């Protein structure tokens, strides 16, 4: 999922689409910086004086305004973080060991050939008190695979019987290989054995959604008063660009385990603002620390960090003139000193990337060529471009965050020093950034990142197949598509990992992406927050987390 960041791999080459010109101006606040903490404190006190059951809400500074609360439509971390509070799948993501735990399904078994899974559901309810049955999962998975839904993750359902012809509009969604023999039994027929299938059952797009509610309210179904979920919390308010309010769901099957009564999620894009909110005790939890404060944060007892199964990288619009040349893409990559970015901007916390797939148990991975200015200039000349004939419209598009800005500025300088090329920096807020990258509405280069949806290299490598909804580069390679598809049916784990390594080598040779570093979790959490155990994907179990009294 994105810290991203994800479609647009379809179709033939087309004319470049121009985003609005970047003015280069940065607006200034009309009041002094020292007034910010006072202002935030007043807002916080005005909005959150009330308590539930004598307990104040846990306040979280999310990194952006969610683009959606529909599990079938979400692709980014700002959305996925909230999805786990409102919905729950058959299984729940594991924490430190990453192994899925029982969710709505209390038990399950697989057939001898590992192609049929039978899930036994517990007595669960929707947040409106109505029964949640196996039929809800059948209808939800059909909606997920339906081309009319337009889910960017629907390619994952090719593993389920008839998933491929449904996505190709050759079969109806109700032919998907999922069944409900009774209200408490859900059966899935796979096309072939998939070792990480249970991990997918804990992944947000596989969550159940309230089909009758969706039919009634259409695209307004996620609004407060409409949204019906089955997670540990329910939605009470969604004030756009201000906050999302959640309260404990009394109909959640494990509500007795949920200690937190309410949560307030604030969409704070500016990392410095979030940092100041934490210092001023206006937020209990922030998900990232601004680069300029990392050194100071490292000495704070509230600071938490750990490696994540994720990669920060740049994507290149392979459909636009010049950038359809892998020689130019390689030149841009060779000119980037990743170690300098990690040390100078990120204070040595993450690790410089030598591949697209982050370190994965059982996977040897690829060691791609790194910083080499001489090779960068060779590839630039080979592409037909140079300082006196620069590639058209060299830009770096990024969404609002100090980290992205600082990295873009360093890369801009490196391209100038090592290639003699001038790059323009273009900044958009989260939703506009998502829309522009999804529609390939960026001129050359854009920031991207990916947090694996499950701990397997395919979670990264399938992104850049031609028909993947999260391919935001326009890159198409029939050879790569074929190689990736072949890995799905390899049963021997060692042979499969070897083939995946070949696939990654193919991708990095074509270089529609430029890996920069592997993610590391850098958070500030109040010492009052208990049971906040992150999974390797950087996500938490909402039903376990609470503020100590």
For residue 45, pLDDT over 80 is answered with no
Select the more confidently predicted residue: 534 or 5. 534
Using one digit for the tens of pLDDT, what is the confidence trace for 53-80?
A: 677 999 999 988 999 999 999 988 889 9
What is the rounded average pLDDT for all residues in the chain? 89
- Listed in order, strand segments (DSSP E) in 271-365 are 285-286, 303-316, 351-352
CB of 217 within 8 A of CB of 204? no
**What burial class does residue 370 get, using C-beta atoms within 10 Å of its C-beta: 0-12 exposed, 13-18 middle, 19+ buried?**
middle
5 within a domain of the structure (yes/no): no
pLDDT at site 43: 39
pLDDT in the model for residue 455: 84
320/467 same-domain check: yes
The token pair at 507 is 């991708």
Domain that holds residue 56: 35-70+77-83+222-304+522-547
Q: Please give the share of the chain, as a percent, with pLDDT higher than 70.
A: 90
Taking the C-alpha atoms of residue 98 and residue 94, their distance in angstroms, rounded to an integer, is: 4
The reply to whether 502 and 370 lie within a common domain is yes
5 vs 446 pLDDT, higher one: 446
Whole-number pLDDT of residue 183: 98
Q: Evaluate whether 292 touches 345 at the Cβ level (below 8 Å).
A: no
225: how many CB neighbours lie within 10 A of its CB? 10
Q: What is the pLDDT of residue 50?
A: 52
**Left, alpha or beta for 336 (phi > 0: left; psi -120 to 50: alpha)?**
beta
Judge whether 372 and 334 are in contact, CB under 8 Å.
yes
Question: Regarding beta strands 395-399 and 424-428, do their DSSP bridges make them parallel or antiparallel, or are they unpaired?
Answer: parallel
Q: Is residue 281 part of a domain?
A: yes
Q: Give me the pLDDT at residue 221, please.
A: 98
Rounded CA-CA distance 275/260 in Å is 23
User: Is residue 51 situated within a structural domain?
Assistant: yes
Model confidence at 20: pLDDT above 60: no
Above 70 in pLDDT, residue 11? no
Contacts of residue 130, defined as CB under 8 A and 6 or more positions apart, other chains included, come to 228
Per-residue pLDDT, 216 = 97
Question: Which of 214, 234, 252 corresponds to the end of one domain?
Answer: 214
pLDDT value, residue 491: 85
- Mean pLDDT lowest among 48-62, 116-130, 349-363: 48-62
Q: Is residue 165 part of a domain?
A: yes
- 426 - beta bridge partners? 397
Q: Give a yes or no: residue 415 inside a domain.
A: yes
Domain of residue 280, CATH code: 3.40.190.10
Residue 23 located in a structural domain: no
Q: For residue 98, what pLDDT is reported? A: 66
Model pLDDT, residue 52: 66
Residue 265, φ and ψ in degrees, nearest 5: -110, 120
Query: Do 422 and 511 share a domain, yes or no?
Result: yes
Question: When comparing pLDDT for 337 and 35, which is higher?
Answer: 337
Note whether residue 158 is domain-resident.
yes
- The answer to whether 264 touches 243, Cβ cutoff 8 Å, is yes
Whether the per-residue pLDDT at 454 is higher than 90: the answer is no
Question: Cα-flanking dihedrals φ and ψ of residue 2, to 5°?
Answer: -75, 135
> Considering only 19-33, 328-342, 366-380, 478-492, which range has the smallest mean pLDDT?
19-33
The last residue of a domain, from among 173, 194, 214:
214
CATH number at residue 157: 3.90.76.10
Residues 187 and 227 in one domain: no
**How open is the CA angle 238-242-245, to the nearest 5 degrees?**
40
User: What does the pLDDT look like over 337-353, one tens digit per residue?
Assistant: 999 999 999 999 999 99
User: Do 274 and 177 sit in the same domain of this protein?
Assistant: no
119: pLDDT confidence band, cut at 50, 70 and 90? Answer: very high
Q: How many CA atoms, within 13 angstroms, populate the side-chain half-sphere of residue 195?
A: 16
Q: What is the mean pLDDT of residues 165-192?
A: 97
Q: Is the pLDDT of residue 40 over 90?
A: no
Q: What is residue 16's predicted lDDT score, i.e. its pLDDT? A: 33
Q: Both 349 and 490 in a single domain?
A: yes
When pLDDT is averaged across residues 303-323 and rounded to a whole number, the result is 95
With vertex at residue 523, the alpha carbon angle to CA 80 and CA 290, rounded to the nearest 5 degrees, is 100
Residues 348 and 476 in one domain: yes
Q: What is the pLDDT of residue 63?
A: 87
184 shares a domain with 270 = no
Q: Does a structural domain hold residue 455?
A: yes
39-53, 139-153, 279-293: least confident range: 39-53
**pTM for this predicted structure:** 0.83
- Name the CA radius of gyration of the chain, rounded: 23
pLDDT grade for 6, boundaries at 50, 70 and 90: very low
Instruction: Let me know: does 99 contact 323? Beta carbons within 8 Å.
Output: no
CB 86 within 8 A of CB 235: yes
- Do residues 531 and 490 share a domain? no
Asked whether residue 394 falls in the same domain as residue 513, the answer is yes
Q: Which residue has the tokens 């950087």?
A: 538
Tens digits of residue pLDDT in 239-268: 999 999 999 999 999 999 999 999 999 999
Domain co-membership, 175 together with 58: no
Q: Is 8 left (phi over 0), alpha (psi -120 to 50) or beta?
A: left
Domain count, the chain: 3
Phi-psi map region of 538: left, alpha, beta (phi>0 left; psi -120 to 50 alpha): left
**β-bridge partners, 67:** none
CA–CA dist 489, 164 (Å, integer): 15
**For residue 115, which phi and psi values (nearest 5 degrees)?**
-110, -5
Residues 423 and 511 reside in one and the same domain: yes
| CATH number, domain with residue 364 | 3.10.105.10
Strand partners, 523: 304
pLDDT of 35 reads: 36
């Amino acid at each position: 999922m994105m810290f991203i960041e994800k479609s647009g791999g379809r179709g033939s080459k087309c004319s470049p689409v121009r985003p609005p010109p970047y003015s280069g101006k940065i607006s200034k606040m009309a009041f002094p910086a020292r007034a910010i903490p006072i202002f935030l404190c007043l807002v916080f006190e005005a909005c959150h004086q009330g308590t539930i059951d004598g307990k104040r809400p846990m306040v979280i500074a999310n990194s952006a305004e969610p683009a959606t609360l529909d599990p079938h439509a979400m692709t980014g971390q700002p959305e996925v973080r909230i999805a786990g509070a409102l919905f729950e799948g058959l299984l729940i993501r594991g924490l430190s060991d990453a192994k899925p735990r029982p969710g709505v399904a209390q038990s399950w078994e697989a057939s001898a050939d590992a192609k049929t899974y039978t899930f036994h559901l517990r007595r669960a309810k929707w947040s409106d008190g109505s029964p949640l049955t196996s039929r809800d999962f059948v209808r939800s998975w059909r909606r997920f695979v339906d081309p009319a839904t337009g889910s960017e993750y629907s390619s994952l359902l090719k593993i389920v019987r008839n998933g491929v012809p449904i996505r190709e509009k050759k079969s109806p969604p109700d032919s998907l290989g999922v069944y409900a023999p009774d209200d408490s039994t859900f059966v899935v027929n796979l096309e072939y054995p998939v070792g990480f299938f249970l991990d997918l059952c804990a992944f947000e797009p596989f969550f159940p959604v309230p089909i009758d509610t969706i039919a009634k309210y259409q695209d307004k179904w996620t609004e407060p008063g409409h949204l019906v979920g089955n997670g540990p919390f329910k939605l009470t308010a969604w004030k756009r660009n201000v906050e999302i309010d959640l309260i404990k769901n009394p109909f959640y099957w494990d509500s007795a385990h949920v200690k937190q009564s309410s949560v307030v999620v604030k969409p704070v894009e500016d990392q410095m603002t979030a940092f100041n909110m934490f210092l001023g005790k206006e937020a209990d939890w922030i998900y990232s620390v601004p680069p300029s404060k990392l050194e100071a944060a490292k000495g704070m007892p509230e600071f938490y960090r750990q490696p994540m199964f994720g990669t920060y990288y740049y994507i290149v619009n392979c459909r636009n003139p010049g950038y359809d040349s892998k020689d130019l893409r390689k030149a841009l990559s060779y000119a980037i000193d990743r170690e300098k970015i990690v040390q100078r901007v990120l204070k040595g916390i993450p690790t410089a990337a030598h591949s697209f797939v982050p370190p994965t148990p059982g996977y040897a991975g690829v060691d791609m060529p790194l910083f080499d200015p001489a090779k960068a200039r060779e590839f630039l000349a080979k592409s037909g471009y140079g300082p006196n004939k620069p590639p058209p419209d060299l830009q770096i598009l990024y969404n609002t965050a100090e980290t992205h800005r600082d990295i873009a500025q360093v890369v801009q300088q490196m391209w100038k020093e090592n290639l003699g090329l001038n790059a323009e920096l273009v900044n958009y807020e989260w939703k506009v950034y998502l829309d522009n990258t999804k529609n390939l509405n960026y001129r050359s280069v854009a920031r991207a990142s990916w947090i694996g949806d499950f701990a397997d290299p395919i979670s990264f490598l399938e992104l850049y197949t031609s028909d993947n909804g999260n391919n935001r580069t326009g890159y198409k390679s029939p050879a790569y598509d074929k190689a990736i598809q072949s890995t799905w049916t390899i049963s021997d784990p060692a042979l499969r990992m070897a083939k995946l390594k070949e696939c990654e080598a193919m991708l990095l040779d074509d270089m529609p992406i430029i890996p920069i570093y592997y993610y590391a979790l850098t958070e500030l959490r109040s010492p009052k927050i208990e049971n906040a155990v992150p999974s390797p994907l950087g996500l938490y179990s909402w039903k376990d987390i609470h503020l100590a009294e």
